[in-house]
Amino acid sequence: MLERIQELPDNVLGFEAKGEVTGADYETVLIPAVEDMLARQKVIRFLYFLGNEFTGFDVKAMWDDAKVGLQHLNSWERIAVVSDVRWIHTTMNAFRFVIPGYVRVFRTSELAEAKQWICE
């Protein structure tokens, strides 16, 4: 499940993942929010919090994540991913060089720092 993080500036889109994130979560929550924001501005600052309640992604969610990322490749100004899941850190650090914007990965204990960085 994806929940929108509300206490962020208008130019920052943030989500918290809880439990298993599904393709339906992407199609009904994340993708419409990205499309709506891009209709109002050219670039997005994106915060993705995968905290202790996060249990994983289904295959469709991983596909939708890649698809939305590539579809709007030049629209990501900053991306902050907050998680203690090792494979997420590894994956984000591997792909950060193909994303035109700035990408940083934080531990869950650094959520406040991630919010500060994404809003700078």
Cα–Cα–Cα angle for 110, 111, 114, nearest 5°?
Answer: 90
Per-residue pLDDT of the chain (120 residues; tens, 9 = 90+): 999 999 999 999 999 999 999 999 999 999 999 999 999 999 999 999 999 999 999 999 999 988 998 888 889 999 999 999 999 999 888 888 878 889 999 999 999 999 999 999
Q: What is the pTM of this model?
A: 0.93
CATH number at 37 reads 3.30.750.24
* Residue-range definition of the domain harbouring residue 31: 2-119
The structural domain count of the chain equals: 1
